[in-house]
Structure 1
Amino acid sequence: MGSGKVTSSVPSGSSEFQGKHVTVAGLGVSGVPAAKVLHARGAIVTVVNDGDDARAREQAAELEALGITVRLGDGATLPEGTELIVTAPGWKPDKPLFLAAEKAGVPVWGDVELAWRLRGPDAAPWLAVTGTNGKTTTVQMLASILKAAGLRTAAVGNIGVSLLDAVLGEEEHDVLAVELSSYQLHWAPSLRAHSAVVLNLAPDHLDWHGSMEAYAADKGRIFEGNRVACVYNVADKLTEDLVREADVEEGCRAIGFTLGTPGPSQLGVVDGILVDRAFVENRHKNAQELAEVGDVNPPAPHNIANALAAAALARAFGVPATAVRDGLRAFRPDAHRIAHVADLDQVAYVDDSKATNTHAAEASLAAYESIVWIAGGLAKGAAFDELVAKSAKRLRGVVLIGADRALIRDALARHAPQVPVVDLERTDTGAMLQAVTEAKRLAQPGDTVLLAPACASMDMFTNYNQRGDAFAEAVRELGA
């Protein structure tokens, strides 16, 4: 880690935007509130949007009624006189609008950057979380721990609660638990967190970032200017490398988390106990018990890692050990994240529909000894050889669904030829009942039937939630 002092940007009020020509790129969840906030602070706002559908026209009418200019169906051209662009996080950096802005010397911010700059002088510090998988769970665990310590907090950011709302709303906070995606971090150049974690790194969204190196670099932005702790995953060297490359404030520490026995300046697990050897006196000799593995729900290995990361950020903020335990006990994961649906004939049925990429599916498969795996969907360019090779010894059988199931079938033929595979050609939503029926036939007492698709869901379902609901409904129907 660099030791140079990094000064946080001074929070700005309305004066920074008064009379300034600002272009907001994209309507939707972040664009509409950003346009309203900037307009209210005296900016001359133009909104540009690629789409021109009924929803966009409805949002445009709402903004135009306030005196905001909206251009639908033209998100490529830089409006004349633009001095700043505030973009929706999903807009790719190579869009013509941004290339024109770069040529003209016009800065580009995301909604996170805007929220950061609009904080008041006594704003709550941010504890920030990113990673390829586990972000939402970790942020929710962190918020639960902070609340158990009696702190006023909220889980915000990429989790669905707007940072603009959190920063500008009337509710007061002592600290914010902030989930940040790689897209959001790309457009947040001056963000400076109290402490932050990169949970893990695996290839994802490479079509957006252009390369794994660019993706990792954007994730690493979360460490820039950290004041107290940069938290990394001991099992994932890439996350530690990002800490080493970060320029942080003097005295900021590198803190590791591990599923093994922790060394000094690490959190880890000893005999079923989560322990802290980072935020204790004489960490070379002492350790603080935080919680039991059984306090983590569910106690799957990757979820214990999430709990350790959340605990590290909370401890960096000064939270006592008892609050870590109480917060983890109170936490309940969102639906479709390793959710136990039912036991039928001594077989467990588990819904991890949220495992939409190979990295998440690998973690899910590692949580069980003997599995009938339901997998498939939209591969998004992923390869499955490494996933199948690592998980082959755990597989009792596999049921494949979805548009790109042949990719998984071929990987199974190469790396797990002994595992029976059922390949379902039908792609209607009713295929899930057939998939669960086939999985039930393959399973033996003590097995787990696991929906961890390693793929996106939109070929057969609206989203991963609907896919998980279909799985749970099929399990209930078989058990009726």
Structure 2
Amino acid sequence: MTSTPESRPEGPETPAGPDFKGLPVTVSGLGVSGISAARALHGLGAAVTVVDGGDGPALRDRAAGLEADGIAVRLGDGETLPDGTALIVTSPGWPPSSPLFAAADAAGVPVWGDVELAWRLRRPHPATGEPAPWLAVTGTNGKTTTVQMLASILTAAGRRTAAVGNVGVSVLDAVLAEDPYDVLAVELSSYQLHWAPSLRPHSAVVLNLAPDHLDWHGSMEAYAADKGRIYQGNRVACVYNAADSATEDLVRAADVEEGCRAVGFTLGAPGLSELGVVDGLLVDRAFVADRRSTAAELASVEDVQPPAPHNIADALAAAALARAYGVEPRAVRDGLRAFRPDAHRIAQVAVVDGVTYIDDSKATNTHAAAASLAAYRPVVWIAGGLAKGASFDELAATAAARLRAVVLIGADRAVIRDALARHAPDVPVIEAAEGQTGADAMAAIVRVAAGLALPGDTVLLAPACASMDMFTNYGERGDLFAAAVRGLEPR
């Protein structure tokens, strides 16, 4: 790590902060974040125009709501830069290759994301005179769980906080809240980080790195670089995954404030300046007075529910950020005990005829599915959907010894089938619900999986793929799985 500050991007700054009065601002995207940004900017006196390449009844309804408040909206053209634009605030999903941004670059117009806007709009807390610090979380998988664990720990420590950003409360709403927060637990996607050049968190973590969203970023190197932005300017701790050297590499490359420390987390016994696991206990050798010879007990593995390996890793990452902020060990334990994961994240649905059914529909990429598979054995694995260009060879090879059978579903099932043939040729593979969608498809899938499972097995929905070929989203996929399981009749 180095402590050379990065130059700040240009924008409508005054010594007192951002000045938007009368400024022509274009907001790209008429989704949730775009609407939030448009309303916030309008309230600050900006002349706002929202552009979106889509058109249709839903977008027109949203546009009408904004237009009623005096905000201009242009549908059907998301590529042309409106005349006079001095700043673009973009929704996270818009890729850097968008023609709108090429036009902005040619015109010398800066582009911010909603997170950048929120960072610039932070207000001093009345008790401290400083804006609430951000404890920031990113990674290919585990972001939401970690940031919600962190918020639970901070709440247990008596802090007014919220899980914000890519989850829960909008980060813009959080920084503009009338009742100010003491500290924010902020989930950030690679998209959001790409458009947040002046972000400088108190402390941050990159949980893991695996290929994802490469169509948006253009390469794994660009994806990793955007993830690494979260470490820029950190004040207290850059937390990394000791089992994933790529996250430590990002820490080494980061420009941070003087005195900021690199802190690792591991599922094994922790080394110096690490958090880890010893004899079923989560322990801290980073934020103690004598870290060479002592460690602080934070919680037990059983305080984390469910105590799957990747959940324990997420808990250690959340604990590291909380400890960097100054939270006492007891609050870490109490916060982890109080936390319960969202739906569709390794959620036990039922035990039928001695077979456990687990819904991890949120496992929409190979990295997430691998973490889920590592928690169970033997497994009847339900996999498939939209593969997003992913390779399944590594996943098939590492999971082979755990598999009782595999039930393949979805449009890109052939990619997984071929990987299993190469790396797990003895594992039975059944293809289910071809040509079906929705509830009927999931009922057929669950019946096939139940027929393959033996008492003591786990039927695991961890598809490693997106869901939209057969279901509305991963939430519907998980809900229908749970409903189908509950409809099984005992043998």
TM-score (norm 2): 0.95
Q: How does 1:200-279 map to 2 (within 5 A)?
A: 200-279=208-287
Q: CA contact under 8 A between 2:17 and 2:120: conserved in structure 1?
A: no
- 1:450 and 2:453 aligned: no
- 1:131 and 2:139 aligned: yes
After superposition, the Cα gap between the structure-2 partners of 1:427 and 1:13, relative to the gap in structure 1 and judged at 3 Å, is farther
CA distance in 2, matches of 1:118, 1:190: 12
CA distance in 2, matches of 1:30, 1:435: 36
2:299 alignment partner in structure 1:
291
CA distance in 2, matches of 1:15, 1:422: 59
Which consecutive residues of structure 1, in runs of 5 or more, have no partner in the other structure?
A: none
2:2 alignment partner in structure 1:
2
Cα RMSD, aligned residues only? 1.5
- 1:434 and 2:444 aligned: yes
Cα distance per residue 1:325-374 (max 9 Å; x no partner): 11000000001100011111221111101001100000000001210111
Aligned-partner SS, 1:171: coil
Q: CA contact under 8 A between 2:92 and 2:191: conserved in structure 1?
A: yes
1:48 maps to which of 48, 51, 55: 51
1:110 alignment partner in structure 2:
113
2:128 alignment partner in structure 1:
none
Cα distance per residue 1:415-456 (max 9 Å; x no partner): 111001111224222122222112122111211111100111
Q: How does 1:55-70 map to 2 (within 5 A)?
A: 55-70=58-73
Q: CA contact under 8 A between 1:63 and 1:70: conserved in structure 2?
A: yes
Aligned-partner SS, 1:204: coil
2:355 alignment partner in structure 1:
347
Aligned-partner SS, 1:62: helix
Aligned-partner SS, 1:478: coil
CA distance in 2, matches of 1:217, 1:97: 23
Q: Which amino acid aligns with 1:428?
A: T
User: What is the CA-CA distance between 1:476 and the residue it aligns to?
Assistant: 0.9
Q: Which amino acid aligns with 1:478?
A: L
2:477 alignment partner in structure 1:
467
CA distance in 2, matches of 1:318, 1:6: 27
- 1:174 and 2:182 aligned: yes
Q: Which amino acid aligns with 2:468?
A: M
1:76 maps to which of 79, 102, 110: 79
After superposition, the Cα gap between the structure-2 partners of 1:41 and 1:388, relative to the gap in structure 1 and judged at 3 Å, is same
After superposition, the Cα gap between the structure-2 partners of 1:338 and 1:126, relative to the gap in structure 1 and judged at 3 Å, is same
1:99 maps to which of 84, 99, 102: 102
Q: CA contact under 8 A between 2:234 and 2:257: conserved in structure 1?
A: yes
Aligned-partner SS, 1:196: strand
User: What is the CA-CA distance between 1:35 and the residue it aligns to?
Assistant: 1.3
After superposition, the Cα gap between the structure-2 partners of 1:127 and 1:11, relative to the gap in structure 1 and judged at 3 Å, is farther
Q: Which amino acid aligns with 1:98?
A: F
Aligned-partner SS, 2:294: coil
Q: CA contact under 8 A between 1:11 and 1:116: conserved in structure 2?
A: no
- 1:195 and 2:198 aligned: no
Q: Which amino acid aligns with 1:4?
A: T
CA distance in 2, matches of 1:4, 1:380: 38
Q: Which amino acid aligns with 1:162?
A: S
Q: Which amino acid aligns with 2:149?
A: M
Q: CA contact under 8 A between 2:18 and 2:120: conserved in structure 1?
A: no
Cα distance per residue 1:52-107 (max 9 Å; x no partner): 21122122222222222221111101111111100011001011110111111110
User: What is the CA-CA distance between 1:178 and the residue it aligns to?
Assistant: 0.4
Identity of aligned residues (%): 74
Cα distance per residue 1:375-434 (max 9 Å; x no partner): 111111111111000100000011111111111111111111100111122422212222
User: What is the CA-CA distance between 1:12 and the residue it aligns to?
Assistant: 7.6
Q: Which amino acid aligns with 2:49?
A: T
Aligned-partner SS, 1:57: helix
Moved over 3 A (4+): 5-15
User: What is the CA-CA distance between 1:11 and the residue it aligns to?
Assistant: 9.1
1:36 alignment partner in structure 2:
39
Q: How does 1:341-380 map to 2 (within 5 A)?
A: 341-380=349-388
CA distance in 2, matches of 1:200, 1:479: 40
Q: CA contact under 8 A between 2:133 and 2:201: conserved in structure 1?
A: yes
Q: CA contact under 8 A between 1:8 and 1:192: conserved in structure 2?
A: no
Aligned-partner SS, 2:106: helix
Q: Which amino acid aligns with 2:482?
A: A
1:394 maps to which of 388, 402, 413: 402
Q: CA contact under 8 A between 1:8 and 1:190: conserved in structure 2?
A: yes
1:24 maps to which of 7, 27, 52: 27
CA distance in 2, matches of 1:458, 1:150: 41
1:156 alignment partner in structure 2:
164
Q: CA contact under 8 A between 1:226 and 1:249: conserved in structure 2?
A: yes
